[in-house]
Amino acid sequence: MSEQLRLMHVHAHPDDESSKGAASTARYVAEGVDVLVVTCTGGERGSILNPKMDRPDVLANISEIRRQEMDAAREILGVRQEWLGFVDSGLPEGDPLPPLPEGCFGLMPVEKAAEPLVEIMRRFRPHVVTTYDENGGYPHPDHIMCHKITVAAFEAAADPTRYVGSGEPWQPLKLYYHHSFSRMRMQALHDAMEQRGLVSPYAEWLANWEVDPSWDDRVTTRVECAEYFPVRDRALLAHATQIDPDGSWFAVPLEVAQQAWPTEDYELVTSHVPTRTPEDDLFAGLR
C-alpha cells in the first residue's frame, strides 16, 4: 500500500491500551503507522489497585485522574486517542453476582453502543482493528461489551445501509483479538525466572490454570517488540491508580521478559486481504 497504514485499538478502560499490546503499538508508531486508541469508558468504577494511590483525594476525583493518566500514557505511546463516553460498569463481585448499575456500558444495547464506534471507524479509516476475544480476555462486563461492539462496528462500517449519517462507509481489512495472557507465555516467563533462581509471580496462577488448553492454539500472529517493552512499562506506570510499581506487573525483570517472550500475540479473526498464518505482522498482506 502506498498510503500511511492505520491501526485502531478498541479498549474498555484507560490502562487497557498499556497492559495489552502496548509494545507492539510503540513499534508500529516508530515505523510510522498512525495508531488510534478508542477507549469505551472512563474507568469511573475501577478500583485503586496501587496502595500508594489509595487516598481520599484520589477517590474523590477518580474520573479526572484517570483521564489525566490516559493523557500521559497516550503521549508516551505516541498514539491518538478518543473516548466513546460510556460509563464504567465496575466488576461485580459476590455469589450471586449483583446486577450491573443502571445506565452502564455493560447494559447498553449493542446496536446503539456500536454507533459512535462506527462513526470513528469511518472517519479514521483503519486498515487493522484490534479488540478482545468473546470472553473479554477476562470476564469483565465492559471487556465483553467492548468485544461485541467492535465486532459489530467492524461488520457494519462498510455497509451504506447501516448507521446512515455516521460517515462514508469504510471497510477495515483485518480484525484481531489480543492474546496477552496465554499459558505458553506465562509458562515461559515462569520457567525463565526459576532457571535464574528468581521467584516467579506465576507459580500459583499456573498451578490453578483453568483456561481451555486449546486457547494457545488460537494465536496466529506474534509481533516482535521486545525493544519496546520499556515504552510499554512507562505507559503502564502512567496509570498510577491501576499499576503498583512494586507489584506483579514488574516482578519479572525487563531483560528476562525480553529474552523469554519477545513478542505480543494476537489472533487473526477476519481478513479481507490474502495472508498466510502464522504471521509476524498485523499488516501482513497489506505492506
Residues comprising the binding site for Zn(2+)?
13, 16, 143
Contacts (Cβ under 8 Å, ≥6 apart) of 204: none
Q: Is the CA virtual torsion 60, 73, 270, 211 positive or negative?
A: negative
- β-bridge mates for residue 128, sequence order: 7, 174
Strands 128-131 and 80-86, sheet pairing: unpaired
Exposure letters 164-173 (e unless 16+ CB within 10 A, then b): eebbebbebb
| Spatial separation of the C-alpha atoms in residues 12 and 140, rounded to whole Å | 9
CA distances from residue 111 to 100, 116, 118, 150, 152 in whole angstroms, order as listed:
19, 10, 10, 11, 8
Question: Which residues does the annotation place in the binding site?
Answer: 13, 16, 143
Contacts (Cβ under 8 Å, ≥6 apart) of 125: 6, 170
Q: Is the CA virtual torsion 134, 137, 139, 143 positive or negative?
A: negative
- What is the 8-class DSSP label of residue 53? G
